[in-house]
Amino acid sequence: MEEKESEVTKAVREAVVKAVEKGENLKEKVSEITRDAVKKALEGTDVTRDKVESVSKDAMKGAIEGARKLEVGAAEAAKGAAEGITEGTKQAGAKAAELTEHAAEAALDSAKEVGNKAVEVVKGIVAGFIEAAEEVLKKKKK
């Protein structure tokens, strides 16, 4: 039986294709698209680690599929998606901010599909977002 495609994957992939066809900046647009998709998917739900990881992987998958479909830079798409995933997770709410690290790790796992260049790019982003998430948590404790 065929697995049903997630709404997040479909929405991100289609938006990436449209952005590329319009000639928009791939990294910036993918970041914006994934941020909005992740935020929308997490808002109003019980935000658990599993939910964050699932939504993150679906968003990264959509970004990579969209880039590959049009034969454009999947590494740039992965970089933008990683930024958007972590930002969308943070924007979805307080509890979600605590799960940003898991979103970043899931994004990294998904980026491994693209190859070494994307993994190195995303590793740097993951480190930056983990630091940002830790700062958010410290501010909340004060």
- As a whole number of angstroms, the distance between CA 124 and CA 24 comes to 24
Query: In 10 A of CB 118, how many CB atoms?
Result: 26
What phi and psi, each to the nearest 5 degrees, are found at residue 51? Answer: -65, -45
Ramachandran region, residue 4 (left: φ > 0; alpha: ψ -120 to 50; beta: rest): beta
In this prediction, residue 1 carries a pLDDT of 46
The CA angle 16-45-89, to the nearest 5 degrees, is 50
Judged against a pLDDT cut of 60, whether residue 88 lies above it is answered with yes
Is-above-0.75 flag for pTM? Answer: no
pLDDT at 94: 52
Do 82 and 132 form a contact (C-beta atoms < 8 A)?
no
**What per-residue confidence (pLDDT) applies to 30?**
84
Tens-place pLDDT, residues 64-87: 788 777 777 777 777 777 778 777
